[in-house]
Structure 1
């Protein structure tokens, strides 16, 4: 069973569905323990899933953004933490292939390792500067030494850190105004992980701190200078709302099944026959339809657009993330209202879904930044 042997999104979704069911069986224990879903990640690696966004010229499938989001959503129905974690790797590989800014020999090496199961994620957020989307200069510093660089610093929210093989680390270049991205292999001396992740949401993402102490990398691993052209819209970040849509669908599935089976002595039949319950289920489906159409129509727009057209999609990409994330919170809330106080039991998955979807408010881009971007977009369009 390999994703790489299939050629359509439907065929790959057929493989993913039973895997997502397996993930759902493990989700509660991982959440309770605050551990990491090693088994889930191993399955995704062993089935070739993690190589799907590798460019075709390097032996991958180079799947579309639309297909990636469909698959990521399916994973999230099973376990949101697994989906968000692996989504960063999948999206980064897609982005690197699209932007094609790295030295070819370095990117080829990375792709070959990814085909063998290697995993990658970025490490940009820091304790003092916060999210890089706010524009802070990194306190992590890279100093030129001979034919390489020495890097020191600490990065927070390094998702999937227990199993990452590569880190893309942003750092300020000492003595200059430059900021760059450096590729750091995990075995490099001076690289360590401090287990700091204690969030009540998405507890299984392993988003610990990355510690860099006199880490030395070759000059070729200074892979990208940042800030020269400004930040370009990134379609791959839609893996974030796809994750929260999947969690919302899991909540929908649970509350409907509960409503079909729950029959208190005060009524005849199950509560799914009650008008107020049907009202809430209808509202859930209405919101899911809205988010699906918005998310997937924009993904298809991205796939069919050229570079210039994509560079103008920032406002709509932000609007998708904000809409889907906030709708997911409303959907889970409605599901909990149907189930009632039982939804607050630690054994009930709805309380986990509720905690997990709240995390979406703090993934980039933030709602306030999206609103400001949309305001500027509307004003500029009116002036035309």
Structure 2
């Protein structure tokens, strides 16, 4: 079976990174059944992620290009999309902080040093039950109240991927004395912080995206590391880790569908179903759709890396890529399910999990309606 990665690997470093991702994917695959049942992230997989030095890649001397990031993410997602999406948030956040200089240098370097030396893992905790996705502009109900040289933070965050396993949380809150939204860097061991196991979704269960509860968490003023509006918002190329993840799920479904078609021979046929015209048509459609998705995703990533001066101009492409690739991934998985037939619905096969997991991409930011509206407005600009 021809690998979808052959055309994407351009040099020796790409291959080394792909090998690293393959080892993570292999470990993740061992724990899929358990993490899907428990709705939690695998600590064994996290150990391999850290032993491979993946958390520190964006803050090492060599850095990590967007193209390389997507390549690794897609490969890990072939093993388990939940693992790719979860660790992708950490890597993406570190890339953003490093590139956009959102924090004071000493605050960022303190975190980066721990990531480099101890492979510590961090994620933003921004979503709340009442506000929905933070990309919609809702003000956090989580509040930070100044008390002398401290802040007291009270609130609840949902969709906190890898909640049980993060070393730090970057928590958004409404900072009353500043009348602004701010972000606090909070150590996982801080008193008043706890994780409630609320994650009970159809797909991407292995992300363990439980609720983070803050009950009178006392923080130093220096823990307020970022205030919204202090820095000009820049396009977030790193968010392309989201479509890369769902594309990896689609590739895994494609691989399994081809393997199934080449091995399954009902007693009504003299050959495997891979020789049946309508099965070949579905395989061809999967290839065509995946070729388009790969071309669009990685060409935009390459442009981001090679033409940094034009990043503001390609912000619309970043959003459009997410819309195009995640929807294509859903279409590919649907085709794979049609090839597998009724067997694809069985828990004995991976197809039903691909089907559940890939749906989640439609609900990661930016949302389809927001992208379509943005593109329409841009098209009508004079």
Taking structure 2 as the reference length, the TM-score comes to 0.94
Residue 229 of structure 1 deviates from its aligned partner by: 5.7
Residue 175 of structure 1 deviates from its aligned partner by: 4.7
- Alpha carbons of structure 1 residues 34 and 302: separation in structure 2 relative to 1, 3 Å: same
8 Å Cα contact 1:255-1:338 kept in structure 2? yes
8 Å Cα contact 1:76-1:82 kept in structure 2? yes
Q: Map 1:141-160 onto structure 2 (within 5 A).
A: 141-160=143-162
8 Å Cα contact 1:28-1:349 kept in structure 2? no
Give the one of 173, 176, 181 matched to 1:174: 176
Residue 84 of structure 1 deviates from its aligned partner by: 0.5
Give the one of 248, 251, 257 matched to 1:249: 251
Distance in 2 (CA, whole Å) between partners of 1:266 and 1:230 is 65
Q: Which residue of structure 1 lines up, in the alignment, with residue 142 of structure 2?
A: 140
8 Å Cα contact 2:146-2:177 kept in structure 1? no
Distance in 1 (CA, whole Å) between partners of 2:191 and 2:24 is 36
Q: Which residue of structure 1 lines up, in the alignment, with residue 340 of structure 2?
A: 339
Distance in 2 (CA, whole Å) between partners of 1:139 and 1:11 is 44
Q: Which residue of structure 2 lines up, in the alignment, with residue 272 of structure 1?
A: 274
Distance in 2 (CA, whole Å) between partners of 1:105 and 1:370 is 36
Q: Map 1:231-310 onto structure 2 (within 5 A).
A: 231-306=233-308, 309-310=310-311
Residue 145 of structure 1 deviates from its aligned partner by: 1.9
Q: Which residue of structure 1 lines up, in the alignment, with residue 47 of structure 2?
A: 42
Residue 231 of structure 1 deviates from its aligned partner by: 4.0
8 Å Cα contact 2:102-2:231 kept in structure 1? no
Residue 215 of structure 1 deviates from its aligned partner by: 1.1
Give the one of 168, 179, 185 matched to 2:187: 185
Distance in 1 (CA, whole Å) between partners of 2:216 and 2:88 is 30
**1:338-381 Cα deviation digits (max 9, x unpaired):** 0100000012101000000000011000000000111112122x
Residue 128 of structure 1 deviates from its aligned partner by: 0.7
Distance in 1 (CA, whole Å) between partners of 2:361 and 2:288 is 20
Q: Map 1:199-238 onto structure 2 (within 5 A).
A: 199-228=201-230, 231-238=233-240
Give the one of 6, 17, 21 matched to 1:12: 17
Unaligned regions of 5+ residues in structure 2, if any?
Answer: 1-10
DSSP-derived class of the 2:267 partner: coil
Residue 103 of structure 1 deviates from its aligned partner by: 1.3
**1:106-126 Cα deviation digits (max 9, x unpaired):** 111101111212100001111
Distance in 2 (CA, whole Å) between partners of 1:67 and 1:299 is 9
Give the one of 22, 25, 33 matched to 1:28: 33
DSSP-derived class of the 2:41 partner: coil
**1:91-141 Cα deviation digits (max 9, x unpaired):** 000110000121111111101111212100001111111111111111111
Residue 294 of structure 1 deviates from its aligned partner by: 0.6
DSSP-derived class of the 1:157 partner: strand
8 Å Cα contact 2:70-2:244 kept in structure 1? yes
Q: Which residue of structure 2 lines up, in the alignment, with residue 3 of structure 1?
A: none
Distance in 1 (CA, whole Å) between partners of 2:227 and 2:320 is 28
8 Å Cα contact 2:27-2:48 kept in structure 1? no
Aligned-residue CA RMSD in angstroms? 1.5
DSSP-derived class of the 2:265 partner: coil
Q: Which residue of structure 1 lines up, in the alignment, with residue 362 of structure 2?
A: 361
Q: Which residue of structure 1 lines up, in the alignment, with residue 312 of structure 2?
A: 311
Residue 16 of structure 1 deviates from its aligned partner by: 2.3
Q: Which residue of structure 2 lines up, in the alignment, with residue 79 of structure 1?
A: 80
Taking structure 1 as the reference length, the TM-score comes to 0.93
Q: Which moved more, 1:24-33 or 1:279-288?
A: 24-33
- Count of equivalent residues: 371
DSSP-derived class of the 1:49 partner: coil
